[in-house]
Amino acid sequence: MGYLNPVLRGMNADPSVCRRGDDYYLATSSFETLPALPIYHSRDLVHWRLVGHALEQPTGSGPRICTYAPTIRFARGRFYLVGTDVTGIGNFVVSAAEVEGPWSEPVPIDADMFDPSLCFSADGTVYYTRRGSIADKDIVQAEIDPDTGRLLSPLRPIATGFVSDDAEGPHLYEIDRTWYLLLAEGGSRALHMATIGRSPSPWGPFEPCPQNPFLAQHHAWWHPLLGAGHAELFEAHDGSWWTTFLATRHPSYDALCHLGRETFLAPVSWADGWPTVPAEATRQLELSPPGLTAHPWPSPARRDLFSSDHLDRRWVSIGRTDQPRWTLTSPGLALVGGPSWAEVSATGAVPTVLARRQEDLCCEATTRVRLGPEPAEAGLITYLTSEYHYSLVARRSGPDRLEIVLRKQVGDLSVESEPIVVAGTAVTLRLVADADAYRFEVLGPAGNWVEVGRGLTRLLGGELAQTWNGVLVGLWAGSGQPQSAGTAGTAATAEWFDYVGLDPGRSEQGERQSRIAESS
């Protein structure tokens, strides 16, 4: 019995792992979502649960955030995380006594380039390594005080790419008195890969591995995952070695990636002082499980009733606003109407989007919303960026009547379906996704689902939108009027929200994981 990749589904790129005892912690990029830089916890490397975020707000003065490639480490009795907010202070460091937080305020390090990493050496020196200049595409390094962010030596180049002229995502490791430099190369899409070199000095020069790239999926387009790279290398508490890496799932030969880059796990063996990854790790989704005792976490509830005094950690928003855009009414979630999409595009205003990662190629999301007064509108959304999204919208068309429409925004093309009229002020909306399309529906008066429209998943592909985001599925609300017209009130109240994955492998994995847990 094995486990299924990816071990973290949905938008979870650039995975970085650290270990404290028998516990493993993993941080990923989150790009424009808040809270930012999610952190997951595992005890067997296969089952992960979201335990917190390293950043609650943008590091800059504006409303937007864009976080890249964090590195998480446990040393000196604390957790340290370095990352980049490309719209804010640049590269920064935060720390915490416990991974759940509270995390310290971000301390700036420098503002040039991205993909910072930390290496705590055996002699107490801490090395700061990151992508170098745009022109040189090299890797630079300095000594650092991780508590203050102050560089203790000048940044200097230590390597260029081992197989290409485009290197990023560096991680420096001290293993058996040898220094290893792990790189991501080849860009971050189809030609992505992980390479490695070694040296007796942390400053190089680094001897390239003869098998570089030691992790890649350049074999064939028809394999179910592509773009494998940006890896992390670590030793488990039982002495086995592993790598986490990002890749994208593709259900067919020519499918684009709309779920975003996800986190994959693969075993590592050592030969002649070099790490090797089995070829099947980048060619198939099922692998043999780690030898660690299985430790599945309780499954989260399918339905969120919004009955707590805080939102579930899986919910994220887009950017920061001066006024709260939602309020928990316990039960229920009151959504304040935000700007229209035209205003968002024209002014950069922050939309009222509250959503969660789409984790499955095949899934259902359902909600019941109660509309506020005219001209408010609200509903379900599949959101990639402010220029690429589909929304199933309910809006008032009378005192006791609603219109339901499907809006599709793909670049500068925007279309709206013919409205379907339903009686009342509350309505149940659903989207059903498969690998090729989203089907949007409204619950009719006879308890039947009425299709409003469809949207192709490929039109929300990251390659098309030129974004690193993955699709979020959730709620959207608009005021129905320009924001300058006055303070928007409650557009709608979401009474509940359902999400369930329908991928065939998801149920198989659940059964398989249960058998593994029972056998352990």
CB 180 within 8 A of CB 197: yes
- Give me the CATH number covering residue 472: 2.60.120.200
Residue 294 lies in a domain: no
Q: Mean pLDDT, to the nearest integer, of 150-168? A: 96
Spatial distance between the Cα atoms of 313 and 55, rounded to a whole number of angstroms: 13
- CA distances from residue 489 to 184, 305, 331 in whole angstroms, order as listed: 47, 22, 19
Quick one: 402 exposed, middle or buried, by C-beta within 10 A (0-12, 13-18, 19+)?
A: buried
Q: Which residues contact 478 (CB under 8 A, 6 or more apart)?
A: 337, 338, 339, 340, 341, 351, 352, 376, 377, 378, 393, 491
Residue 272 annotated to the active site: no
Does the pLDDT of residue 487 top 60, yes or no? Answer: no
Mean pLDDT is lowest, of 102-106, 313-317, 348-352, for: 348-352
Instruction: State the DSSP string of 95-108.
Output: EESSTTSPPPPPEE
Q: Which of 434, 436, 442, 399 is nearest to 417 (CA)?
A: 442
CB 198 within 8 A of CB 161: no
- Which of 246, 262, 287 corresponds to the end of one domain? 287
Question: Residue 226: how many CA atoms within 13 Å on its side-chain side?
Answer: 21
Spatial distance between the Cα atoms of 229 and 186, rounded to a whole number of angstroms: 9
* Backbone dihedral angles phi then psi of residue 468, each to the nearest 5 degrees: -95, -5
Q: Which residues contact 502 (CB under 8 A, 6 or more apart)?
A: 360, 362, 363, 364
CB 472 within 8 A of CB 423: no
Q: Say what the pTM is.
A: 0.94
Residue 185 annotated to the active site: no
Confidence class for position 490, pLDDT limits 50, 70, 90: confident
Does the pLDDT of residue 203 top 80, yes or no? Answer: yes
Maximum separation of any 2 CA atoms in the chain, in Å: 76
Spatial distance between the Cα atoms of 19 and 44, rounded to a whole number of angstroms: 11
Does the pLDDT of residue 485 top 70, yes or no? Answer: no
Question: 277 and 313 share a domain?
Answer: no
Predicted local distance difference test score (pLDDT) of residue 519: 30
Tokens of 97: 């006594």
Q: Mean pLDDT, to the nearest integer, of 52-65? A: 94
Q: Out of 85, 110, 168, 359, which one is annotated catalytic?
A: 168
Q: Mean pLDDT, to the nearest integer, of 166-175? A: 97
Predicted local distance difference test score (pLDDT) of residue 482: 57
* Domain assignment of residue 482, given as a range: 303-505
Predicted local distance difference test score (pLDDT) of residue 511: 38
Question: 253 and 200 share a domain?
Answer: yes
- Which of 240, 258, 287 corresponds to the end of one domain? 287
Does the pLDDT of residue 486 top 50, yes or no? Answer: no
Say what percent of the chain tops pLDDT 90: 83
Q: Mean pLDDT, to the nearest integer, of 498-520? A: 53
Expressed in angstroms, the distance from the first to the final Cα of the chain is 12
CB 470 within 8 A of CB 261: yes
Spatial distance between the Cα atoms of 336 and 373, rounded to a whole number of angstroms: 12
- CA distances from residue 111 to 66, 151, 259, 307 in whole angstroms, order as listed: 14, 13, 30, 42
Question: 241 and 109 share a domain?
Answer: yes
List, in sequence order, every residue forming a beta bridge with 394; answer none if it has no partner: 378, 404
Residue 518 lies in a domain: no
Does the pLDDT of residue 159 top 90, yes or no? Answer: yes
Predicted local distance difference test score (pLDDT) of residue 505: 53
Does the pLDDT of residue 387 top 80, yes or no? Answer: yes
Does the pLDDT of residue 140 top 80, yes or no? Answer: yes
Query: Three-state SS string across 417-476, please?
Result: CCCEEEECCEEEEEEEECCCEEEEEEECCCCCEEEEEEEEHHHHCHHHHCCCCCCEEEEE
Q: Which amino acid is at 133?
A: S
> pLDDT tens for residues 269-327?
999 999 999 999 999 999 998 999 999 999 989 999 999 999 999 999 999 888 889 99
Residue 31 lies in a domain: yes
Question: 166 and 282 share a domain?
Answer: yes
More confident residue, 511 or 170: 170
Q: Out of 14, 44, 359, 360, which one is annotated catalytic?
A: 14
Residue 501 lies in a domain: yes
Spatial distance between the Cα atoms of 249 and 451, rounded to a whole number of angstroms: 28
Predicted local distance difference test score (pLDDT) of residue 1: 64
Residue 516 lies in a domain: no
Q: Mean pLDDT, to the nearest integer, of 463-477? A: 97
Confidence class for position 71, pLDDT limits 50, 70, 90: very high
Confidence class for position 215, pLDDT limits 50, 70, 90: very high
Say what percent of the chain tops pLDDT 70: 95
Question: 247 and 309 share a domain?
Answer: no
349 three-state secondary structure: coil
List, in sequence order, every residue forming a beta bridge with 172; answer none if it has no partner: 181
Question: 220 and 193 share a domain?
Answer: yes
Q: Considering its fold, how many domains does the chain have in total? A: 2
Question: 232 and 310 share a domain?
Answer: no
Question: 342 and 226 share a domain?
Answer: no
User: For the CA atoms of 492, 497, 503, 506, what is the dihedral angle to 10 degrees?
Assistant: 150
Confidence class for position 346, pLDDT limits 50, 70, 90: confident
- Give me the CATH number covering residue 246: 2.115.10.20
Tokens of 91: 């590269």
Question: 261 and 371 share a domain?
Answer: no
Residue 161 lies in a domain: yes
Q: Which of 97, 94, 101, 91 is nearest to 146 (CA)?
A: 94
Confidence class for position 510, pLDDT limits 50, 70, 90: very low
Question: 76 and 214 share a domain?
Answer: yes
CB 208 within 8 A of CB 160: no
Confidence class for position 101, pLDDT limits 50, 70, 90: very high
Predicted local distance difference test score (pLDDT) of residue 219: 86
- CA distances from residue 242 to 246, 291, 465, 486 in whole angstroms, order as listed: 14, 12, 33, 55
Question: 332 and 377 share a domain?
Answer: yes
CB 351 within 8 A of CB 339: yes
Question: 407 and 478 share a domain?
Answer: yes
Residue 298 lies in a domain: no
Spatial distance between the Cα atoms of 446 and 117, rounded to a whole number of angstroms: 57
CB 161 within 8 A of CB 209: no
> pLDDT tens for residues 392-407?
999 998 889 999 999 9
Does the pLDDT of residue 344 top 60, yes or no? Answer: yes
CB 396 within 8 A of CB 491: no
- Which of 287, 321, 344 corresponds to the end of one domain? 287
Mean pLDDT value across the chain? 93
Q: Which helix (H) or strand (E) holds 232?
A: strand 225-235
Predicted local distance difference test score (pLDDT) of residue 504: 60
